[in-house]
Amino acid sequence: MNKKAIIFGIKGYQLTNKERHLFKKIKPWGIILFSRNIKNVFQLKILIDDIKKILNDKKCPILIDQEGGKISRLSKIIDLSNFSQDFFGKLYNRDKKLFYKLYKIYIDKVCNILKRVGININTVPVLDVRRKKSHNVIGSRSFSQNPENVSKLGNTCIDLYKKNKIATVVKHIPGHGMSKSDSHYKTPIIKTNKKELIRKDFKPFKACKSLFAMTAHVVYTKYDLVNTATHSKIIINEVIRNHINFKGLLISDDVSMKSLKYKLEENAIKALEAGCNLILH
């Protein structure tokens, strides 16, 4: 890979001079966009065209974190705040035929916008299996408390994006559902036994085949007492690569999150050394 194995976020609606200089110099693997980067469709397309021009790559990976529900980065373009994964999970339980019809319309609409502006990767679906005691950081972002349903709906999501020629990133591998804290601010520690983790949390990731996966900044004490999955050779090799059998590109979750205890550069290096292919900042 001749590009640096990093995905950068950017500051605003257009590239700053510092960002232009940085991207020309180091050629990041890709760029991820958030609400702070999006004013409208026209501005967004100009921004993405500019990024691709700076990187001299029309097929440069441009990512967005557009889950729907409370994680809706396209909110200034379209209101998708009602359409969380939980909403679709409940609809699936009530009326499967209506679910498939509406979910296709929803994803086709999202993809239509993404393709129009030049975004080619969306960081969905969330495959975390929700629990009654789960922290709200997952909450409505999960399809269900039932791992079978999470697997079925996750595969449907991946397939619909694939038909639209948009790549997907399953998250948060190997499973964030048992977490009782928010990894943006604190390290979640999951003490659940291996049998339950394998039966519930790991199951959707094993069942759903995506080109990309994003790691959980979570400690699973039954596998590694010290390191989060992002920094754990044990979890990446034993669980993600061998048990789940994930063969694609493994992206760290954001290395600036407080769950990771080291300085930014060290967080990135430790993630690469543990087995992540790409670093997200």
Low-confidence winner among 12-16, 176-180, 204-208, 271-275 (lowest mean pLDDT): 176-180
User: For position 1, what pLDDT does the model report?
Assistant: 44
What is the share, in percent, of the chain residues with pLDDT greater than 70? 99
91-100's contacts with Cβ under 8 Å and 24+ in sequence apart are 92/143, 92/144, 92/149, 92/152, 92/153, 93/144, 93/149, 100/156
| Average pLDDT over all residues of the chain | 95
**pLDDT tops 80 at residue 235:** yes
**pLDDT tops 60 at residue 2:** no
Q: Quick check: 251 and 214 in contact, CB under 8 A?
A: yes
Q: pTM of the predicted model, to two decimals?
A: 0.95
- At 181, is the pLDDT very low, low, confident or very high (cuts 50, 70, 90)? confident
